[in-house]
Amino acid sequence: MKTALAALIVGYGLDLLLGDPSFLYHPIRVIGNLIALLEKWLRKVFPKTPKGELAGGVFLVILVCLAGYGVPALLLFAAFKIHPVIGFLLEVLWCWQIPATKCLKDESMKVYQKLKENDLPGARYAVSMIVGRDTENLSETGVTKAAVETIAENTSDGVIAPLLFLALGGPALGFLYKSINTMDSMVGYKNDKYLYFGRCAAKLDDVVNYIPARISAWLMILASACERMNWKNAEKIYKRDRYCHASPNSAQTEAVMAGALEVQLAGDAVYFGKVVKKPTIGDDIRPVEAEDIKRANHLMYLTSFLGLVFFAGIRAIFLFL
């Protein structure tokens, strides 16, 4: 639609300005509730065998993707039929809600604030809200690393990827991406419960994030140069360590962040009480410190702006062709 570019720009501005206000019910909650409901139903329908759970997981992906794209597409079509202004306002609302730029900054800065107050238990709790690993025994360095790593990773799947899909196909495609991403965060674990049931969701998430993760990495390298960080080291570590992760995508932006900040990230982590061996990312040029959370957020914000300019420019070219 011709209004998509304007809606994307206005929505991005509102996200930076207001984030996710508590008075607005977030559509991602609806998607999460749908995933939980379907999981319960599908586990009852399909046999509790590896093949049965794989099949149930495939049906989960199909049903959630159909709803994630179809419902917002129909609602947006109906809104524009009622009145173009109503359609545009709904489009802006969703372009505001789908990216998570300010939300990511605000949540990570809660960790920073607790660290500056020397409140390690509070910092552990704050970081537990934004990471999937166990945090109760993390040191101050471990908490800081976890916060910086999640800022880096979510720069791609929480900011740049949503902006890319919004630019390509508006809110419907944006919600399709968020549906896949939410499924992965809920069922894409390699534990006894989700090893088979969540496999399809996890693999699909890897596929849809493959290109956005790499775009995000190069945008972040450019942002690190604009921020006068060590962009040459960022590029070096990116090329060397971008596959130092079980996921083909997660280490892309983590490697850039580690190089730009001149710190070492990743390494072993505890999930559900079990130690998971993971390679480190970056070189230990200097110790990680709480201020790195602020630096990471500055880099994330500039990366998001560069992404908006890049994607909006591409969208504008297609509009005028």
The predicted structure's pLDDT at residue 9: 95
What SS3 class is residue 48?
A: coil
Per residue in 103-122, pLDDT (tens digit) is 999 999 999 999 999 999 99
Q: What is the mean pLDDT of the segment spanning 182-187?
A: 94
Q: How many CB atoms lie within 10 A of CB 49?
A: 10
> What are 57's two structure tokens?
């997981």
User: In which band, very low, low, confident or very high, does the pLDDT at 24 lie, cut at 50, 70 and 90?
Assistant: confident
50 contacts: CB under 8 Å, gap ≥ 6: 196
Cα dihedral sign, 279-251-183-269: positive
User: In which band, very low, low, confident or very high, does the pLDDT at 1 lie, cut at 50, 70 and 90?
Assistant: low
The predicted structure's pLDDT at residue 256: 97
- Global pTM reads 0.93
CA distances to 89, 215, 216, 260 from 219, in Å: 29, 6, 5, 12
295 or 3, which is more confident: 295
Q: What is the mean pLDDT of the segment spanning 220-245?
A: 95
